[in-house]
Amino acid sequence: MAWDIRQQLRVLTESAGRGLNRVRQRSFVEALAAAYSLMLQSGTGVDQVEARRKLQAFMDNTEALAGYSAADLDKLLAQHRQEADFEALSAAREWLTRVARLRGQDDAARLLVRVSMAVVGGAGALDTGQRRAVGELCDALGLALDDFLPDSPAPPASTGTAAGAVPASPSGPPATPAKLLQPGERVELAALGAPANGPLGLSLNWSARPVGGVNPAVFLLDGHGRVSGDTDVVFYNQPRDAHGAVVLSGGATVGFELHLALLPERVQRLAVTLSVDREDFRTLGEVVLDLAADNTTLLRFVLPGARHGETAMVLGELYRRGAAWRFAALGQGYRGGLAAMCQQFGVSLAD
């Protein structure tokens, strides 16, 4: 359905009267610009001129935002483009930090998500990357994704498996059906039957034989997405963290043994990453992440096709939500390999 700007503006501006009555104008505009930039960066085939026009039309017709001119907005968006050109993943994390300032202000937060979806075409026009971005916005704001994307796509039927079942991977099928995650999907581990305090096994597989080395790593991050020290990264040169909570597998399986109960409270997220030494991610073929407990695969995430030049990837994150742990399927790629990823998370590696 075509984007009816008059109808959408009427609905959204009416919502704005309720949503912005307790939020500082500057905070909302900065968060909206950040959400808009995230949606543009995450998707493909967006008419950026038209999307920008829709965003400006919303602001021009929203009395609470009357103090912001088109030039003010363009200045913000130009800064975002520079940030994305320098390091796309770092920019996306910074934008989500700005978005998160509206957490707890639910009316304004819902308005922000609806506007950022509408300007790129609405829910029915979102591609896989944009749907993932909506999930990231909802997670940053503490909102339910189902309120905005109630019709999450089912796994493709062409895999030859029943809907929702895990297809075969380079390492063979898991012993029992597991949840197959789509990009941007998030799930609570307890809902999959994960033990509260038992160990988890995280394995990584790829179908092709790359020219150079492949380096799995897990970063132990605080609430701001940063490590507390250089010991908070587990990789080939540091195969376990100081608490024994994350241990690099020493056998034939590439992956990690996780003991989440041993993590200190300051660790809020575990970023599961993969990097390649030569060429880019396309040399790995199909990349599959499995999370298992007691020899039972709980979930699987098959990485969507990597783009040219991506040499490092955040495959997913395990993160705290209150007392529970959840997993987010991400597939966020960028250039620079393991060294650039370490810099992104605040780790200094010796030469």
Do 105 and 143 share a domain, yes or no?
yes
Of 115, 147, 179, the domain-final residue: 147
Of 147, 181, 213, the domain-final residue: 147
Whether 332 maps to a domain, the answer reads yes
Query: Residue 339 and residue 337: Cα distance in Å, rounded?
Result: 6
Q: For residue 199, is pLDDT > 70?
A: yes
Do 139 and 206 share a domain, yes or no?
no
Do 115 and 246 share a domain, yes or no?
no
Whether 246 maps to a domain, the answer reads yes
At 164, the pLDDT band (50, 70, 90 cuts) reads very low
Do 221 and 306 share a domain, yes or no?
yes
- For range 161-167, the mean pLDDT: 33
- How many independent structural domains does the chain possess? 2
Q: For residue 5, is pLDDT > 90?
A: no
Whether 100 maps to a domain, the answer reads yes
Task: Tell me the per-residue pLDDT of 31-70, one tens digit each, with 9 for 90 and over.
Answer: 899 999 988 887 777 788 888 888 888 888 877 777 777 8
CATH at 304 = 2.60.60.30
pLDDT at residue 58, rounded to an integer: 84
Do 267 and 333 share a domain, yes or no?
yes
Do 55 and 143 share a domain, yes or no?
yes
Parent domain of 143: 5-147
Do 196 and 290 share a domain, yes or no?
yes
Do 137 and 184 share a domain, yes or no?
no
Do 206 and 88 share a domain, yes or no?
no
Whether 25 maps to a domain, the answer reads yes
Whether 256 maps to a domain, the answer reads yes
At 127, the pLDDT band (50, 70, 90 cuts) reads confident
Of 147, 180, 207, the domain-final residue: 147
Q: For residue 309, is pLDDT > 60?
A: yes
Query: Residue 55 and residue 37: Cα distance in Å, rounded?
Result: 11
Portion of the chain with pLDDT greater than 70, in percent: 81
- For range 204-217, the mean pLDDT: 84
Do 103 and 10 share a domain, yes or no?
yes
pLDDT at residue 174, rounded to an integer: 42
Whether 126 maps to a domain, the answer reads yes
Do 172 and 227 share a domain, yes or no?
yes
Task: Tell me the per-residue pLDDT of 252-308, one tens digit each, with 9 for 90 and over.
Answer: 568 899 999 999 999 999 999 998 887 888 888 889 999 999 878 999 999 887 667
pLDDT at residue 264, rounded to an integer: 94
Range of weakest confidence among 86-90, 126-130, 185-189: 86-90
Whether 282 maps to a domain, the answer reads yes
End-to-end CA distance of the chain: 55
Per the prediction, the chain carries an average pLDDT of 80
Do 202 and 315 share a domain, yes or no?
yes
Whether 153 maps to a domain, the answer reads no
At 170, the pLDDT band (50, 70, 90 cuts) reads very low
